[in-house]
């Protein structure tokens, strides 16, 4: 029987996303979201960027190059990669409209 997914609202870079995750992965998702937001703030403080997409890209590059696997399972990492890719696409589309 498949595990029941629960809805979780997360906030990344001042945008809210509603995702579904297994209850056992919720804490890992929230820790990862906190890490992402902390890194965005760190990059905004230390590096010049013209918009939020620049900082999100910096975090994606940083996250992708991390050697240790403290963020959870390979499936969660794949989900996170796909989610970040979708967010980047949404940001690009929003920037094209402005």
**Residue-wise pLDDT tens digits, 25-65:** 999 999 999 999 999 999 999 888 888 988 998 888 888 88
Query: What is the residue range of 90's domain?
Result: 6-97
CA 10 to chain centre: 9
Report the domain count for the chain. Answer: 1
Sign of the alpha-carbon torsion through 15, 52, 91, 93: positive
pLDDT at position 92? 82
- Select the more confidently predicted residue: 59 or 79: 59
What's the chain's average pLDDT?
83
Mean pLDDT of all residues in 68-89: 69
Mean pLDDT of all residues in 55-76: 72
Query: Alpha-carbon Rg of the chain, whole angstroms?
Result: 14
Q: Answer for the pair 30, 47: CB distance below 8 angstroms, yes or no.
A: no
Confirm whether 60 is domain-assigned. Answer: yes
Confirm whether 59 is domain-assigned. Answer: yes
pLDDT at position 23? 93
Confirm whether 1 is domain-assigned. Answer: no
Q: Answer for the pair 37, 48: CB distance below 8 angstroms, yes or no.
A: no
């Amino acid at each position: 029987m498949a595990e029941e997914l629960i809805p979780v609202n997360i906030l990344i870079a001042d945008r809210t996303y509603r995702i579904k995750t297994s209850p056992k992965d919720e804490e890992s998702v929230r820790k990862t979201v906190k890490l992402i937001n902390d890194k965005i703030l760190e990059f905004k403080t230390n590096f010049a960027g013209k918009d939020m997409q620049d900082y999100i890209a910096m975090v994606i590059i940083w996250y992708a190059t991390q050697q240790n696997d403290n963020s959870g399972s390979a499936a969660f990492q794949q989900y996170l990669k796909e989610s970040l890719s979708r967010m980047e696409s949404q940001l690009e589309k929003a920037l094209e409209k402005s």
